[in-house]
A and B are shown apart, each in its own frame.
Chain A
Amino acid sequence: MSVSISTLSAGVIIETKSARVSVAAPKGRLSLRTRGDLGVFGSALGVEMPSKIGACVRSGELEVLCLGPDEWTLMLPQDQVASIFDALNAIYEAQPHSLTEVSAREVTFEIEGTHATDLLSIGCPRDIESIPVGEARRTVFDGVTVILWRDASTQFRMDVWNSFAPYLAQTLETGCKEIAAELA
């Protein structure tokens, strides 16, 4: 087991008949903390802000995930980060909030394939099947806090702070081979 992610280059880490694990291309990622009238933010961002924890809303290239009662993650193309800052700065006086860029904080693993849920079950104690498609959860994988997005029945994204990425890549690689061997 040895995977080295020193630079976060996008690409496939491993692909077997059980699943494929890859590192996603970099994306803009913002952490929004606030309370009060979400509608103001919805108007500024052009989406209906989700208020149920784990719910995701998409509008164009912007994806908004509700992570807590006062916490949202915004995913968007990197080159649109500045415009979001501008849009929300304009409502700062009326609706105080914290908008912080964390684009570089995390690495996204893309995990897909017929046995993607089995692969996730090697490190995640949560019932993966219970996550509705289109939602996301903050959970743990192999002892590390992750955000797990279920984009389709067998298609997931896993966001993890970059220092943990090499360690989790090892776990995913091992599991991918193990489950493929079971199918053999």
Chain B
Amino acid sequence: MSLYRVAGKGRVTTAKPVSFSFDGRTYKGLEGDTVASALLANGVHLMGRSFKYHRPRGPVAAGSEEPNALIGTRRGPGRFEPNTRATVQEIWDGLQVTSQNKYPSLKFDIGAVNDAAYMLFSAGFYYKTFMWPKSFWHKVYEPFIRAAAGLGVSPTEEDPDTYASRNMHCDLLIVGAGPTGLAAARAAAMDGLKVVVVDENPEAGGSLLSEPQVQINGQSAWDWLSGELDALQELGVKVMTRTTAIGYYHQNMIGLCEKVTDHLAVLPEDTPRERMWRVRAKQVVLAQGALEKPLVFNGNDRPGVMLAGSAQTYLNRYGVLVGKQPVILTSHDSAWHAAFDLHDAGAKVQAIVDTRDSVNEALQKEARDRGIPVKLSHTATGTSGRLRVKSLRVNPVSGATVGAGYNIACDAVLMSGGWTPSLHLFSHTKGSLAWDDDRTTFLPKETPEDCVIAGASRGLWGVAAALMDGAEKGRAVVAALGKKANVQDYSVEVDRAGSGVSHKELPTDQNPGKAKAFIDFQNDVTAKDVRLAVREGMRSIEHVKRYTTTGMATDQGKMSNINGLNIAADALGKKQPEVGLTTFRPPYTPTTFGAFAGYHRGDHFEVVRKTQIDSWAEENGAVFEPVGQWRRAWYFPKSGEDMDAAVRRECAATRASVGIFDASTLGKIEVVGPDAVEFMNRMYTNPWTKLAPGRCRYGLLLGDDGYIRDDGVIGRLSQDRFHVTTTTGGAARVLNMMEDYLQTEWPELNVWLTSTSEQWSTIALNGPNAAKLLQPLVDGVELTEEAFPHMSCIECTVAGLPARLFRVSFTGEIGFEVNVPAPYGRQLWEALWDAGQQYDITAYGTETMHVLRAEKGYIIVGQDTDGTVTPYDAGMGWAVGKKKPDFVGMRGLARPDLVAEGRKHLVGLLTEDHSKLEEGAQIVFDKNQPIPMTMVGHVTSSYDVGTTGRPIALALVEGGHDKVGDTVYIPMPDRTIAAKITDTVFYDPENNRLKIGSGV
């Protein structure tokens, strides 16, 4: 048995010892221990160093609110987690634990010089120190702040764990499995109601686990608890442990983080480390309980100084005495019971020091009976001991006078400043709070959600009150769910509901300006820091918080907020509610990124869409690029080729013979109905009435502002049926826009839209040999200039597959797009590939497609246009039907700004030195003008040598269409490049190459 373990106490399994290491030394604990309880059982209180002053620290609490005992945990490569609370981490055989924020060792830490220099690190230290000189920011201050910032060490290896997520719907979610939550669950446990209780602890029970003396309905607390849990399970209630409700979101959605494997010595296969639950509950009961408040006095952070209620938890739940000669320092009745429990377990309680001048006589008698000295009307003014408290200095107080101090030797100081209702989740609901003067705390008032708050979290102390309130609130929510609740009576004996008073920092006989009386332990904020902040002009608690960083540590001020507020209010001479309470934000406790990411990591990071030809591209060495959610083949390098070389080869081969390209990602919309042509006339700028079935036309889509939104080739399959194509990225947007117009503007039209993007695999063949390659495979049409001219479409068969064949070109070469039902995509590709071998067919990717289209001056919407480019700006006035009565964007195009002179026009650019321009580079007319120069446009597309013998670029330039032949300048960091404005067509301006049999 370890030094501080008490036989017969606690819920740990004595028969199951567990070995773990702390800073390289092996310790023994018991199954059921946390790292903190196991170390305390071995007499180890020193577990970490504080953030700013590097002061030695031990656990001050026993639960998730712990600010001090932050550790690193490790189980093999990649499985390292910093800043884990030692009070929460369960031990298992082989667990490796390290302390943090110390160098070279926990017991001797160089950073502790900060503690001696504490006068320099006062509130607002950062704002005061790092102000000047300005030049120091990058080289001195920022690196210093970054090095000093944060606790613990970020993991450097990739996390091999997996994380999961799940959705859940229930009638009633109860947060907290203490007496309140269990009573609420019992009221609602019935057929037809799905009731879920969650608790962050490894077992349900809440305060009952720390208060075994309570008798409920004639049973001991623990017997009652185990019976009750069985009964609830029997009734279908789901109790989830190790599951923290981290946030309360709109419309009763609660986020739960379930820790699945952190307590296990052996990781089960296929099991995630954590699981994020997104719960939609019809009703919610919040029963989070209350958190004990520390007292604020000089030296209240020394290892061994901890909350009295936590000491009780260590004793009753883990069988651990936190000290053998503890002294109690309190302003609340509850700590008296801690004294009695520790005394009864064999500790020699040195004294109960109470700040109050009168205390319940029954408590005083119990102390007398045990021979514990009682000191009322006392304050505490200091502690001694380097790495562990050795004595507490106390002084009698009479009125405003603090008498002479004296030391009480001890090995632990158990303090209680009373209890603060846990309002975190309630506050997430935007619930309003009301200040309660009697209890010196905020209590919950109203919430917009379907949620009630019960028990200690609304300021009711004691197990009896918790059970009664839980049952009552349970009945209320069951009624709200339209059911009749179970009625359960509770009789409770040996309850310890008490009362107390609340303090700002305790009075002292010494210089309060030198007192290290901590409010926020983790961020090292003292009472004098808060007072200094007020003196320096901070008036709102939000400003005090940010100036001093109180409440801004990873515990979000669970312990410090109320003490900080009380002291700030005192310094301001205002009531607390006038100073305000800072906002609680999710998550309730620190939550891993993994839990938020869930399944979305590695190759499942985000949705990836693949075409049916993707696998061929992968097998043939394609390099991919993401285009929206799609992954598309970018280029197909042969061995030794870089991207430029591969693209040059692909371009040349396509123009020389034939290239094959996967165009399946193009958006496709089938527009069908008697009013299809009227709809097309209204949507697109072009006229459609005279387009005969079997013919295609390039369509330009504007927003109602007159700017280009999308484009694509559109085929008329029959009188009433159009096959519309859109850009890859625009598919969903265009369909939505069309549906919008149809449903809101033109509901009278008999026309309907169906997305067929994924009905078809689309393969583009381009090049002088494209028709020759394709003809033998096509059944139903002669691929001649006469029978199937450029911009034709037909339903036929290709390679034996049902197909929609389009004769279109995005390269300037003879071009076809073959659409076959999607699953046949790869089969068709391979058929064309085989047939193309005699023509040295070349597969090309999106980069070559971009180069070839740019050589022809074909725009890419979103690259050469940016939502401010009209058809006229783009040199595409020819696509606007001049005789049409209306189309989307027609009125927009008539706006004064859009018809004004000097708009930016799309033009070609050829650099004088044959260098490649940077896409996005700014353009100026006069390179000698003073800086800042007047920028007149930018490069939208730029490519290295394709098939035109030199780099080409497209650019938007003010008045560009009237400046063809002029020289403009592109200033770059190292030089200024001169370029000549040209037409946008760099290749075959006469379009001779589009004709089959033209002999090129």
Contacts and interface: CB of A to CB of B under 8 A. Distances in A.
B167 A121 contact: yes
Interface string A1-14: 11010111000000
A122 B751 contact: no
Interface stretch (A39-47, A48-56, A58-66, A166-174): A166-174
A126 B280 CA distance: 9
Given A1-B603, A163-B611, A181-B270, A104 B823 contact: yes
Nearest to A164: B609
B754 interface: yes
A31 B670 CA distance: 11
Interface in B262-291: 268-272, 278, 280
Contacts of B278: 125
Interface in B716-747: none
Interface in A62-110: 70, 96-106
B271 A101 contact: no
Interface residues of B, number: 49
B752 A98 contact: yes
Nearest to B278: A125
B788 interface: no
Contacts of B686: none
B759 A98 contact: no
Given A7-B826, A130-B169, A103 B821 contact: yes
B726 to A, nearest CB: 15
B899 interface: no
A111 to B, nearest CB: 15
B14 interface: no
Interface residues of A, number: 50
B607 A70 contact: no
A124 to B, nearest CB: 7
Nearest to A34: B752
Interface string A112-130: 0000001001101111011
Nearest to B277: A121
B615 interface: yes
Contacts of B606: 143
Contact of B169 (A1, A6, A127): A127
B163 to A, nearest CB: 10
B614 interface: yes
Main secondary structure of the interface of B (DSSP, over half): mixed
Nearest to A119: B166
Contact of A122 (B166, B280, B759): B166
B672 interface: yes
Contact of A104 (B167, B168, B169, B759): B759
Contacts of A2: 603
A126 to B, nearest CB: 8
Contacts of B604: 1, 167, 170-171, 174
B276 to A, nearest CB: 11
Nearest to B759: A105
B756 interface: yes
A138 interface: no
Contacts of A6: 610, 612, 614-616, 826
Contact of B599 (A26, A34, A98, A174): A174
Contacts of B670: 98, 100
Contacts of A99: 672
B175 to A, nearest CB: 20
A33 interface: yes
B821 A104 contact: yes
A27 interface: no
A98 B630 contact: no
A142 interface: yes
Given A181-B268, A184-B268, A167 B614 contact: no
B750 interface: yes
Contact of B280 (A96, A104, A127, A171): A127
B231 interface: no
Contact of A31 (B754, B757, B826): B754
Interface of A: 1-2, 4, 6-8, 26, 31, 33-34, 70, 96-106, 118, 121-122, 124-127, 129-130, 142-144, 161-164, 166-167, 170-171, 174-175, 177-178, 180-182, 184
The 7 closest A-B pairs by CB, nearest first: A6-B615, A33-B752, A98-B672, A104-B821, A98-B752, A163-B609, A127-B169
